[in-house]
A and B are shown apart, each in its own frame.
Chain A
Amino acid sequence: MAIRVGTDLVSVESVRGSIQAHETRYLERVYTERELNDCRTDAGVDPERLAARFAAKEATLKVLRPGDEAIPWHSIEVRREPSGWVGLELTGPAAALAQDAGMSELALSISHEGEFASAVVVAECSSANGHRSR
Chain B
Amino acid sequence: MKDDIRQIVKEHGRLSVDVDALTADADLYQAGMTSHASVNVMLALEDRFDVEFPDRMLKRSVFESIASIEASVTELRAQAATR
- Interface residues in chain A, defined as those with a beta carbon under 8 Å from any beta carbon in chain B: 8, 10-11, 14-15, 17-18, 21-22, 25-26, 29-30, 54, 58, 61, 66, 68-73
With A29-B43, A70-B55, A72-B55 as known contacts, state yes or no: A54 contacts B36, CB within 8 Å: yes
* Chain A residues touching B, majority SS: helix
A68 — which chain B residues lie within 8 A by C-beta?
59-61
Choose from B37, B43, B46, B60 the contact partner of A14 (Cβ within 8 Å).
B37
Tell yes or no: B22 within 8 A of A by CB.
Answer: no
Q: Is the CB of A21 within 8 A of B61?
A: no
By size class, the interface of chain B is 10 to 19
- Which residue of A has the minimal Cβ distance to B11? A21
Choose from B34, B37, B46, B57 the contact partner of A70 (Cβ within 8 Å).
B57
B60 — which chain A residues lie within 8 A by C-beta?
68
Tell yes or no: B58 within 8 A of A by CB.
Answer: yes
A17 — which chain B residues lie within 8 A by C-beta?
40
Q: How far is the CA of A29 from the CA of B58 in the complex (A)?
A: 11
Tell yes or no: B83 within 8 A of A by CB.
Answer: no
Q: Is the CB of B56 within 8 A of A21?
A: no
Tell me which residues from 6 to 21 in chain B have a Cβ below 8 Å from any Cβ of chain A. 12, 14
Q: How far is the CA of A24 from the CA of B66 in the complex (A)?
A: 26
A26 — which chain B residues lie within 8 A by C-beta?
39-40, 43
